[in-house]
């Protein structure tokens, strides 16, 4: 019973198109992601099969119709590697890719509790040989190089030989491309990979332009440990008998990636060594243990809605699967499930995905944050190129360089600097891990603060000198290149304040002449507010525009970006997402409930939710302002977004940030979690549709279990960490770090 809630079956999902299923059932461990393609290869290609590696990309020049100084120079595009799931079956001399067989899917499910995919197929060949093929596969969380499959054959109606062939060379050459280049949200390039043997057991794939190389090998096991075979082609021969069950194991392993010139013989040897002596059974036990550990902390249990329960777990599982875990990669907008958005990392990580990790898997959060420090040199170069001091993080990137070819909705989103600062800060406050901030975070915070001082301007507003940030685009991409985007300014203020806090705490000599100016700018930052309507203004000119003619806009014209020229969209009061509300969500102590409700009503009326990041913000603020129907309704609109293929583009990959948003809607919304100046608060905002909500948070090393029902709220420390004080009343629990 408990278990079945963790099994994602075909009957749980929105449709049965191959590309869609490939995405949904992708196995990933943050290093490698394997789309769940049809495993048995036929004479034709089904779907859009392939494998992705986090951070493995190719690069080529961006062509501009009209070039200007400072434009991003190169595309970076995640590379589709061979479909390592694909096998050719040979049954008594007949090959699956050369004749017409009847293949029936008997079972197909993702066991999210154990972190593996289970499949079985009933096969009848042209010569009426029948058998059942069962496949168990997983990407190992313990050894991120490894994708392991176990092929079992049973129920054969004959005695004879079955050969399972995995030909990675062939599969590579067959890689196809199914993208629509007229939609800016999908990728638009492809790389020809160069394959080469490094020794008899290790081969490599090298990208055309970026010269990134990954080593790979293929190992088989029939008895005992895994044995390296030819990395390009492996064959396992199985002698079957009716009523017997015989199995073969295949493992494909991908190394980390290198610049090709740095792959020495030693590198190859080390890779080989690391893989020696493994067995499938050990890998499987480790896998189950690690996934179990994940659920122990990160699971959310709700009562009263079985499909939703499974959908949430699906979201949590995918969130867990695709995160980079070694400090040099991050979280692609589509995870490692597809090539949408070219595999780029955005602010999505910091603002929609990291809270989940910070509060439940802080070790992964730390690795994701470390990535920003890793690319800090690139961000400093970019700031310089833009004529600014400090660092400016790329709006979209893999290698740290700006890859946005449309700067008004790319580079101009300088808020990403402050988003990153906010995430470091949240990490510190929740985990208490100040050592990491001192060693890694502070430099990022200082450099981003420096950027604000450089990019911003002191301008007289309402009779006094205020610190303004002109010429930016906020998260709402339906408004671009404005002055004083509220969200940006509010976040920059926070960035500056945090920088001052760290500078004072650590007495860093490098910033001692600067931080007084940071403080001055932070305290005098201009936050646009309309005194007449008492509303927060999205930016200086937002209320000077006409409201979008919603009543004259047919339904099929949404999302607007695919039906109207940007300059037309920009001249209206219309939001893809309401970034002013996001600011109110992030700084709850700064806004009265009345203020939030006033802003909520207005921004709701002009927001199209054309961004998948929009609804969770509306859900959370509705919950927090005691509008439970809206809180629930906005939540439900997107909680099952990918399972129901709401936007029809899951084929290009999951909406990772939206999955993070579903966690936020529940925990920041229904459970009212908020981080205030010196405490973390949980409140009961449960909508009546959800009877009970159980979840755990890790706060300062303490694992705390929360239980919320319509009537009560409780917390229990499951594992102790640093000293904390928990106080509770009927609907509020307050957690404070206690001076130890």
| 520/545 with CB nearer a second copy | 545
**527 sits near a second copy (criterion: CB under 8 A):** no
Q: 438: burial class by Cβ within 10 Å (0-12, 13-18, 19+)? A: middle
Which listed residue (64, 197, 529, 558) binds a second copy by CB under 8 A? 64
Helix (H, G, I), strand (E, B) or coil at 342: helix
DSSP β-ladder status, 680-683 and 692-699: unpaired
**570 sits near a second copy (criterion: CB under 8 A):** yes
Min dist CB 74 to a second copy, Å, is: 10
**62 sits near a second copy (criterion: CB under 8 A):** yes
- Judged by CB under 8 A, how many residues of this single chain contact a second copy? 53
Which listed residue (31, 35, 41, 75) binds a second copy by CB under 8 A? 75
Which listed residue (468, 596, 620, 708) binds a second copy by CB under 8 A? 468
Helix (H, G, I), strand (E, B) or coil at 397: strand
DSSP β-ladder status, 529-530 and 535-536: antiparallel
Neighbours of 417 (CB within 10 A): 30
Look up 501 and say whether it is catalytic: no
Q: How far apart are CA 57 and CA 55, in angstroms?
A: 6
| 459/726 with CB nearer a second copy | 459
Using an 8 Å Cβ cutoff, are 476 and 538 in contact?
Answer: yes
| 2/69 with CB nearer a second copy | 69
Q: Binding segment for a second copy among 58-66, 121-129, 238-246, 663-671 (CB under 8 A)?
A: 58-66
Whether 287 has a binding-site annotation, put simply, is no
**18 sits near a second copy (criterion: CB under 8 A):** no
**322 sits near a second copy (criterion: CB under 8 A):** no
**122 sits near a second copy (criterion: CB under 8 A):** no
Which listed residue (2, 16, 68, 531) binds a second copy by CB under 8 A? 68
* Per-residue mark of binding to a second copy, 361-390 (x: CB under 8 A): ------------------------xxxx--
Which listed residue (7, 14, 71, 309) binds a second copy by CB under 8 A? 71
Q: How far is CA 276 from the centre of its chain?
A: 32
Write the DSSP symbol of residue 130: E
Whether 460 has a binding-site annotation, put simply, is no
End-to-end CA distance of the chain: 43
Using an 8 Å Cβ cutoff, are 479 and 539 in contact?
Answer: yes
Buried b (16+ CB within 10 A) or exposed e, 695-734: bbbbbbebbbebebeeeebebeeeeebeebebeeeeeebb
Q: Binding segment for a second copy among 114-122, 179-187, 575-583, 699-707 (CB under 8 A)?
A: 179-187
| 348/402 with CB nearer a second copy | 402
Out of 38, 119, 477, 514, the active site residue is: 477
Q: What does the longest C-alpha to C-alpha distance in the chain come to?
A: 92
Write the DSSP symbol of residue 396: S
Using an 8 Å Cβ cutoff, are 333 and 348 in contact?
Answer: yes
**405 sits near a second copy (criterion: CB under 8 A):** yes
Using an 8 Å Cβ cutoff, are 515 and 611 in contact?
Answer: no
Q: How far apart are CA 464 and CA 340, in angstroms?
A: 46
| 278/412 with CB nearer a second copy | 412
Helix (H, G, I), strand (E, B) or coil at 578: coil
Q: How far is CA 526 from CA 466, 475, 493, 580, 592, in A?
A: 6, 18, 9, 14, 19
**458 sits near a second copy (criterion: CB under 8 A):** yes
* φ/ψ of residue 245, rounded to 5: -120, 125
Q: Binding segment for a second copy among 89-97, 456-464, 603-611, 673-681 (CB under 8 A)?
A: 456-464
**407 sits near a second copy (criterion: CB under 8 A):** yes
**566 sits near a second copy (criterion: CB under 8 A):** yes
**533 sits near a second copy (criterion: CB under 8 A):** no
Angle at 61 between CA 60 and CA 66, to 5 degrees: 155
Whether 452 has a binding-site annotation, put simply, is no
**648 sits near a second copy (criterion: CB under 8 A):** no
Q: How far apart are CA 443 and CA 441, in angstroms?
A: 6
Q: How far apart are CA 242 and CA 239, in angstroms?
A: 10
Whether 348 has a binding-site annotation, put simply, is yes
Q: Binding segment for a second copy among 206-214, 266-274, 469-477, 644-652 (CB under 8 A)?
A: 469-477
Min dist CB 403 to a second copy, Å, is: 9
**517 sits near a second copy (criterion: CB under 8 A):** no
Which H or E run includes 558?
none
Q: How far is CA 559 from the centre of its chain?
A: 22
**554 sits near a second copy (criterion: CB under 8 A):** no
**568 sits near a second copy (criterion: CB under 8 A):** yes
The residues carrying an active-site annotation are 477
Positions touching a second copy (CB under 8 A) are 62-72, 75, 181-182, 184, 385-388, 404-408, 410-412, 457-459, 461, 468, 470-472, 480-481, 483, 540-541, 544-546, 561-568, 570-571
List the binding residues for substrate: 347-348, 576-577
């Amino acid at each position: 019973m408990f278990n079945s809630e963790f099994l994602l079956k075909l009957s749980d999902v929105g449709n049965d198109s191959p590309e869609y299923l490939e995405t949904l059932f992708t196995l990933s461990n943050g290093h490698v992601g394997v789309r769940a393609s049809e495993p048995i290869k036929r004479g034709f290609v089904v779907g859009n099969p392939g494998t992705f590696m986090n951070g493995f990309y190719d690069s080529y020049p961006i062509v501009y119709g009209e070039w200007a100084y400072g434009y991003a120079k190169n595309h970076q595009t995640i590379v589709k590697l061979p479909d390592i799931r694909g096998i050719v079956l040979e049954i008594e001399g007949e090959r699956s890719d050369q004749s017409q067989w009847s293949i029936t899917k008997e079972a197909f499910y993702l066991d999210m509790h154990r972190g593996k995919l289970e499949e079985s197929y009933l096969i009848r060949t042209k010569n009426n040989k029948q058998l059942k093929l069962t496949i168990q596969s997983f990407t190992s969380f313990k050894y991120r190089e490894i994708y392991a499959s176990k092929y079992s054959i049973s129920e054969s109606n004959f005695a004879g030989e079955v050969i399972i062939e995995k030909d990675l060379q062939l599969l590579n050459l067959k890689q196809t491309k199914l993208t629509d280049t007229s939609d800016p949200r999908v990728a638009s390039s492809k790389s020809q990979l160069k394959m080469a043997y490094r020794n008899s057991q290790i081969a490599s794939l090298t990208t055309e332009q970026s010269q990134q190389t990954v080593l790979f090998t293929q190992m088989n096991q029939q008895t005992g440990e895994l044995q390296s075979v030819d990395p390009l082609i492996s064959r396992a021969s199985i002698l079957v008998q009716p009523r017997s069950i015989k199995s073969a194991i295949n493992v494909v392993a991908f190394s980390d990636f290198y610049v090709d010139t740095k792959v020495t013989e030693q590198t190859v040897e080390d890779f080989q060594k690391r893989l020696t002596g493994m067995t499938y059974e050990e890998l499987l036990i480790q896998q189950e243990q690690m996934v179990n550990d994940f659920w122990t902390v990160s699971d959310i249990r709700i009562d009263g809605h079985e499909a939703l329960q499974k959908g949430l777990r699906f979201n949590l599982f995918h969130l867990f699967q695709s995160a980079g875990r070694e400090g040099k990669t991050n979280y692609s907008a589509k995870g490692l499930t597809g090539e949408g958005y070219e595999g780029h990392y955005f602010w999505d990580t910091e603002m929609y995905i990291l809270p989940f990790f910070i509060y439940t898997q802080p070790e992964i959060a730390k690795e994701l944050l470390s990535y920003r420090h890793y690319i800090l040199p690139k961000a400093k170069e970019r700031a310089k190129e833009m004529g600014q001091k400090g660092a400016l993080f790329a709006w979209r990137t893999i290698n740290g360089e700006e890859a946005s070819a449309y700067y008004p909705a790319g580079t101009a989103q300088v808020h990403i600097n402050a988003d990153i600062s906010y995430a470091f800060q949240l990490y510190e406050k929740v985990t208490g891990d100040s050592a990491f901030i001192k060693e890694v975070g502070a430099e990022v915070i200082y450099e981003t603060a420096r950027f604000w001082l450089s990019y911003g301007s002191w301008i007289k507003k309402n009779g006094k000198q205020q610190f303004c940030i002109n010429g930016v685009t906020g998260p709402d991409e339906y408004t671009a290149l404005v002055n004083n985007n509220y969200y940006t300014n509010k976040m920059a203020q926070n960035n500056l304040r945090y920088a001052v806090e760290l500078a004072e705490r650590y007495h860093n000599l490098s910033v001692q002449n600067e931080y007084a100016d940071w403080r001055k700018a932070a305290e005098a930052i201009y936050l646009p507010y309309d005194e007449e309507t008492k509303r927060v203004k999205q930016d200086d000119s937002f209320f000077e525009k006409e409201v979008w003619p919603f009543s004259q806009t047919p339904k099929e014209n949404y999302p607007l970006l695919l039906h109207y020229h940007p300059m037309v969209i920009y001249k209206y009061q219309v939001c893809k997402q309401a970034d002013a509300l996001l600011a109110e969500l992030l700084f709850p102590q700064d806004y009265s409930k009345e203020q939030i409700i006033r802003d909520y009503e207005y921004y709701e009326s002009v927001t199209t939710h054309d961004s998948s990041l929009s609804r969770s913000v509306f859900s959370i603020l509705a919950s927090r302002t005691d509008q439970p129907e809206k809180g629930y309704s906005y939540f439900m609109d997107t909680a099952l977004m990918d399972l129901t293929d709401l936007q029809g583009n899951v084929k290009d990959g999951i909406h990772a940030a939206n999955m993070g948003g579903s966690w936020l809607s529940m925990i920041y919304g229904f459970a009212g979690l908020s981080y205030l100046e010196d405490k973390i608060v949980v409140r009961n905002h449960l909508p009546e549709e959800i009877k009970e909500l159980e979840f755990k948070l890790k706060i300062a090393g303490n694992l705390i279990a929360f239980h919320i029902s319509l009537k009560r709220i409780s917390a229990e420390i499951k594992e102790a960490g640093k000293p904390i004080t928990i106080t509770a009343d009927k609907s509020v629990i307050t957690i404070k770090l206690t001076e130890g």
